[in-house]
Homo-oligomer: A and B are copies of this chain.
């Protein structure tokens, strides 16, 4: 522990007027020179630039935002940064926004409607120009209010039924369809789906995809069954989601001798937990039961057995979302759009017969 001392001189922040004084012109001219307006003589501009550089001028964004009426900030409301998909989303959104000269204000809701309402409120206070949100999907009042306040909004990953808002998501129906068709192709006759018990659009879409694949390909469509895993979060941020619950679920099924030929899991955590539970009861994957995951966690290719899973293009999701947001800002009256990005199945050992 040493004594803290501000390194160097802790001088007052440089303002336009400082440059103006140094150069010998008006504040206004400095402003125009710096913001690249053409109504400045080359020589004056050069002087201003040089002086700004020398003085280490950093524009005051508060002042600028105040007069311009725009903060060049986009809000990013995420349910859970620890979810691989959303972690990737955060990265790509930040990257794209920065490239466009926007700043990202991050809010995490942890799947709590209350927290989400507060988050929307924060966005309003912060004066963001626009926002990207993965809605918790309980209420929509705060989102409506945000838009009414002039904040452009785009929903990502999950959509809110009644709301006429741009949406960028993943084609989960297709993803689940692929996964299901895949295990059916691999010879499974009875295939069950395991999903989160959250009332969100992604879960519904996956279920639809699963059911459609069963209807299209299964020998006995009546064997379809959707198991719901309790996912109500109890506490923490760092999470084995409700892998624990999926694990218990599988344990019960095995104990009851009630098993399908294959499981289509709603996420990789579930898949892993299922495999673990099956393995502990002496069953083998893929020999006795096939398991497909969803999300293609970076771990998937290194597990034993390696896990077949549906890869979700997080990066594309994020960059597309930002692009859509920018387009919306540019053309507020344009028709609402809906983008679905196709995920793709990556077959590995867990479904190999």
Give the CA-CA distance A269 to B269 in the complex, in Å: 16
| Contact among B8, B118, B236 with A148 in the assembled complex (CB-CB below 8 Å) | B8
- List which A231-285 residues lie within 8 A (CB) of chain B: 236-241, 243, 247, 269, 272-273, 275-276, 279
Contact assessment for B2 and A164 in the assembled complex, using a CB-CB cutoff below 8 Å: yes
B-chain residues with CB within 8 Å of residue A150 when the two chains form the complex: 6, 10, 13
Contact assessment for A91 and B81 in the assembled complex, using a CB-CB cutoff below 8 Å: yes
Contact assessment for A98 and B81 in the assembled complex, using a CB-CB cutoff below 8 Å: no
| Contact among B56, B65, B107, B148 with A7 in the assembled complex (CB-CB below 8 Å) | B148
Contact assessment for A71 and B62 in the assembled complex, using a CB-CB cutoff below 8 Å: yes
Interface size class of A (residues with CB under 8 A): 35 or more
Contact assessment for A107 and B98 in the assembled complex, using a CB-CB cutoff below 8 Å: yes
- List which A70-93 residues lie within 8 A (CB) of chain B: 71, 73, 76, 80-82, 84, 87-88, 90-92
Q: In the complex, what residue of chain B is closest to A90 when comparing beta carbons?
A: B81
Contact assessment for A98 and B118 in the assembled complex, using a CB-CB cutoff below 8 Å: yes
Given contacts A4-B333, A7-B144, A303-B304, 17 further A-B contacts (CB under 8 A): A1-B335, A4-B328, A5-B164, A8-B148, A11-B148, A62-B62, A62-B65, A73-B105, A92-B237, A94-B107, A103-B122, A104-B105, A104-B107, A105-B106, A240-B298, A243-B301, A276-B302
Q: Could you give 22 example pairs across A and B, Cβ below 8 Å?
A: A1-B335, A3-B335, A4-B334, A5-B333, A6-B147, A7-B148, A56-B145, A61-B125, A61-B126, A81-B81, A81-B90, A81-B91, A81-B94, A84-B238, A95-B110, A98-B107, A104-B106, A238-B315, A240-B298, A269-B299, A272-B299, A279-B304
Taking Cβ atoms with an 8 Å cutoff, the residues of A that contact B are: 1-11, 13, 56, 58-63, 65-66, 71, 73, 76, 80-82, 84, 87-88, 90-92, 94-95, 98, 103-108, 110, 118, 122, 124-127, 144-145, 147-150, 164, 236-241, 243, 247, 269, 272-273, 275-276, 279, 297-299, 301-304, 306, 314-315, 328, 332-338
